[in-house]
């Protein structure tokens, strides 16, 4: 069996997790990691993989079947995505929800021209949550869908805290409000404001001598990030942060409450829950499964940009259709 040859573009949390995720899939091999930094300065997790400059990728189109794009959604993927779509099949976890239609168009144009396939917005949200929202709404057209995130670390909100003057380090947990979840499960179909669905808890390491009240005020009133939530702030030491808040756990819950019957007398609840010890590891494993689909579909002649909901589930599995009929169906 020819293995699917994978490349990783960008070597942050997600890139490292893709490196590890590939090891759990016997039908895949990692050809190399591509970075904007000096390759000789990069220490890879497994120490068993070649690191190249981004420029070198252009010369390796015959050696790599799928590039997993692991750059940041805010400023890397909008440029790296379309560039790589002209050369390789790609998958990515682009998570800027509002910009997904524009990103799709840019990827689609280049992918079609190059006759490559680019699966965008993989991961868990967008990604597995999108797929589950689609199934739930298609099956229960009459009803309401709710998404709750956490308990988990939001990297975007943690970054926002760290940008405040006087903050050395910080971590932010997004926590869903249990009463709201219970009301949804009961079928109350509540109208929930932002504040009624989640609250935020921050652990902050402040520089010595800084005004903690000022930091607290700046966090709590920060528009888009904290102003619409009830936010709790704890000042702790660097040692406490390292000891009590390691890793990047996350997760969440999709609930669809639907009704059927002549008088909508039958209630149905669909739930899809993720409790993730490591957000990047899980996201990476989703991308790796979609890399398999990208390779297979492109071999069948499929090109252009796709989102995760465009891909039939059997393409994700390393098992043949026959094996799936025996073991999964």
Which of 10, 82, 143, 150 is in the footprint of ligand NDP by CB under 6 A? Answer: 10
Please give the annotated binding residues, written as ranges: 11-14, 35-37, 70-73, 149, 174, 200, 250, 279
Q: Which is nearer to ligand NDP, 100 or 112 (CB)?
A: 100
Which of 21, 39, 71, 170 is in the footprint of ligand NDP by CB under 6 A? Answer: 71
Comparing CA positions, the residue from 14, 134, 161 lying closest to residue 73 is 14
Comparing CA positions, the residue from 162, 279, 285 lying closest to residue 218 is 162
Look-up of token digits 């997004």: 174
272: left (phi over 0), alpha (psi -120 to 50) or beta: beta
Which of 22, 51, 66, 70 is in the footprint of ligand NDP by CB under 6 A? Answer: 70
Minimum separation from the CB atom of position 125 to ligand NDP (A): 5
Please give the annotated binding residues for substrate, written as ranges: 149, 174, 200, 250, 279
Which of 32, 39, 82, 93 is in the footprint of ligand NDP by CB under 6 A? Answer: 93
Q: Which is nearer to ligand NDP, 12 or 247 (CB)?
A: 12
Contact flag: residue 15 with ligand NDP (CB under 6 A): yes
For 250, phi then psi, to 5°, come to -160, -170
The stretch among 68-76, 83-91, 186-194, 205-213 that binds ligand NDP (CB under 6 A) is 68-76
Please give the annotated binding residues for NADP(+), written as ranges: 11-14, 35-37, 70-73
Pairing label, strands 4-9, 66-69: parallel
Burial 16-41 (b: 16+ CB within 10 A, else e): bbbbbbbeebeebebbbbbbeeebee
* Subset of residues 25 to 54 that bind ligand NDP, contact rule: CB under 6 A: 35-37
The tokens for 45 are 């997790």
Q: Which is nearer to ligand NDP, 163 or 217 (CB)?
A: 163
Q: Which is nearer to ligand NDP, 123 or 143 (CB)?
A: 123
The 277-296 contact track toward ligand NDP, x by CB under 6 A, reads --xx--x-------------
**CB-based closest residue to ligand NDP:** 12
Total residues in contact with ligand NDP, by rule CB under 6 A: 24
Q: How far apart are CA 185 and CA 324, in angstroms?
A: 33
Minimum separation from the CB atom of position 39 to ligand NDP (A): 9
What is the edge-to-edge ordering of all strands in the sheet holding 231-235? Answer: 152-153, 167-176, 198-206, 231-235
Whole-angstrom Cα Rg for the chain: 22
Which of 73, 130, 158, 174 is in the footprint of ligand NDP by CB under 6 A? Answer: 73
Q: How far apart are CA 106 and CA 103, in angstroms?
A: 5
* Subset of residues 110 to 169 that bind ligand NDP, contact rule: CB under 6 A: 123-127
Minimum separation from the CB atom of position 267 to ligand NDP (A): 30
The stretch among 8-16, 208-216, 238-246, 306-314 that binds ligand NDP (CB under 6 A) is 8-16
Q: Which is nearer to ligand NDP, 36 or 199 (CB)?
A: 36
Minimum separation from the CB atom of position 312 to ligand NDP (A): 20
| Count of C-beta atoms within a 10 Å radius of residue 261 | 9
For 191, phi then psi, to 5°, come to -90, 115
Q: Which is nearer to ligand NDP, 202 or 287 (CB)?
A: 287
β-sheet bridge partners, residue 28: 4
Q: Can you list the alpha helix ranges (DSSP code H) found in the chain? A: 13-22, 54-57, 77-85, 100-114, 128-139, 155-162, 178-186, 194-197, 212-220, 238-244, 279-299, 321-327
- Interface residues toward ligand NDP, by CB under 6 A: 10-15, 35-37, 70-73, 76, 93, 95, 123-127, 279-280, 283
């Amino acid at each position: 069996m020819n293995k699917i040859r994978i490349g990783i573009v960008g070597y942050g949390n997600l890139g490292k997790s893709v490196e590890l995720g590939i090891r759990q899939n016997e039908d895949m091999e990692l050809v190399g990691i591509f970075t904007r930094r000096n390759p000789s300065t990069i220490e890879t997790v497994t120490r068993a993989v070649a690191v190249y400059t981004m420029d070198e990728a252009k010369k390796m189109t015959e050696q790599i079947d799928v590039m997993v794009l692991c750059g940041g959604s805010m400023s890397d993927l909008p440029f790296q995505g379309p560039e790589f779509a002209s050369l390789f099949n790609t998958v990515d976890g682009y998570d800027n929800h509002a910009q997904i239609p524009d990103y799709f168009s840019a990827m689609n144009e280049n992918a079609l021209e190059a006759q490559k396939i680019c699966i965008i917005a993989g991961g868990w949200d967008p990604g597995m949550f999108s797929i589950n929202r689609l199934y739930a709404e298609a099956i229960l057209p009459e009803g309401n869908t709710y998404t709750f995130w956490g308990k988990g670390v939001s990297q975007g909100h943690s970054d926002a805290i760290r940008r405040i003057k006087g903050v050395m380090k910080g971590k932010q947990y997004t926590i869903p409000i249990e009463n709201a979840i219970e009301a949804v499960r009961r079928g109350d179909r509540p109208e929930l404001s932002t504040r009624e669905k989640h609250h935020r808890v921050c652990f902050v390491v402040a520089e010595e001598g800084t005004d903690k009240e000022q930091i607290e005020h700046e966090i709590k009133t920060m528009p888009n990030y904290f102003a619409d939530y009830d936010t709790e702030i704890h000042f702790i030491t660097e040692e406490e942060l390292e000891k009590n808040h390691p890793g990047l756990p996350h997760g969440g819950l999709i609930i669809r409450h639907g009704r059927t019957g002549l008088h909508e007398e039958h209630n149905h609840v669909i739930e899809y829950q993720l409790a993730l010890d490591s957000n990047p590891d899980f996201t990476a494993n989703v991308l790796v499964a979609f890399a398999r689909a990208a390779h297979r579909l492109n071999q069948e002649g499929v090109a252009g940009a796709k989102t995760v909901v465009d891909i039939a589930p059997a393409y994700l599995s390393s098992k043949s259709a026959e094996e799936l009929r025996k073991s999964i169906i």
